[in-house]
Amino acid sequence: MRGIRQRKPFLPLLLPAVLCLSLAACSSGQAGQPELPAATAFAPAEAFTAAEGPAAEDFESPETESTAESAEPAEIEPPAPTSEAALPEESAAPEEAAPPEAAPIPEDLPDSLQAAVKACATAEITNQLVLAVDHELSFWEKGPDGIWQKRMEAYCGYGANGLVMAEERVMGSKTTPIGAFPLTLAFGTGDNPGTDMTWRRITENSYWSEAEDENFNAWVESETPVPGEHLIDYYQYKYAVNIGFNLEDIVYSRGSAIFLHCKSTDHWYTAGCVSLSEEDMLELLRMLRDGAWMIIVPDAESIGNY
């Protein structure tokens, strides 16, 4: 009984000692942990999914941190343009560099057309030349120094069925004759507009005859109708010049009344004449003089034939 009474005081002393050691161990473990801010919160692991958050590979592990410097830097996208106009079309090819500007042609170097005019036989018999090369009409004048200069150019119309060699033309074919012809007479429905050519005003009795007699292919004043054209009926003849086709060695079947005149209001083609805008016709008339010639050709290479 005495032995049991001696062990009772030891137990009350042992229990507090064990509690003290446990408390000391907990305190030393908490001292090694860094304090977290009160506002820090952690989402549960299952919240980081592909749809809602970053994937696991978006976070570097301590093992890859040392190799990050050797990896190639990611490409940085350029800033987006501030306007759509600044953004080229995706399918558009890169623009080619503009060609350098051509050097100016020296003024003393004649162009090929000027050289052709100077070299043609017609240039030996006149100082003024109206040149129709296909649909391009130009007016040339030889100066006192003997140099031919172009004084105007304009678009022109001609026969609805094209150009044909003068000696092959057929009356009524709606073709314009090719060749060199004198400009014999200027005429129109009003007074002389300022030309130095011989001018004749159209009257109610004015005809261009197609009668097979001494008046064929000539102006006739008659109080009775004459086969051919009643000139006042044609508004296109407000300003006109006779082209001297089929005047020598006359062949009746080749036709007559081939003029240089104002174009129709709604088309350029003619029944065989050459047409100009009224403005260009008036400009040309004011430069023309008696003795001028006209060459009609399909291309510049043919000028030398006349």
Measured in whole angstroms, the distance separating CA 274 from the mean position of its chain's CA atoms is 28
What's the rounded Cα separation, in Å, for the pair 208 and 231?
A: 7
For the chain, report the end-to-end CA distance as a whole number of angstroms: 163
Task: Give the pLDDT of residue 111.
Answer: 77
Name the residue type at position 170: V
pLDDT tens-digit profile, the chain (306 residues)? 444 444 444 444 445 554 555 544 444 444 444 444 443 333 333 333 333 333 333 333 333 333 334 444 444 444 433 333 333 333 333 333 344 443 443 444 347 899 999 999 999 999 999 999 999 999 999 999 999 999 999 999 999 999 999 999 999 999 999 999 999 999 999 999 999 999 999 999 999 999 999 999 999 999 999 999 999 999 999 999 999 999 999 999 999 999 999 999 999 999 999 999 999 999 999 999 999 999 999 999 999 999
pLDDT at 269: 97
pLDDT at position 15 = 52
Strand partners, 85: none
- Residue 198's pLDDT is 97
3-state secondary structure of 295: strand
- Structure confidence at residue 59 (pLDDT): 33
The H-or-E segment that residue 152 falls in is strand 148-155
- Mind giving me the DSSP string for 176-195? EEEEEEEEEEEEESSS--S-
Distance (Å, whole) CA 140 – CA 44? 97
Residue 238 makes CB contacts below 8 A (sequence gap 6+) with 188, 189, 190, 262, 278
Rounded to two decimals, the pTM is 0.65
* Closest by Cα among 188, 187, 168 to 179: 168
Q: How many CB atoms lie within 10 A of CB 127?
A: 16
CATH of domain 112-305: 2.40.440.10
Q: Where are the domains of the chain?
A: 112-305
DSSP string, 215-232: TTTSEEE-SS--SEEEGG
Q: Are strands 274-276 and 259-262 parallel, antiparallel or unpaired?
A: parallel
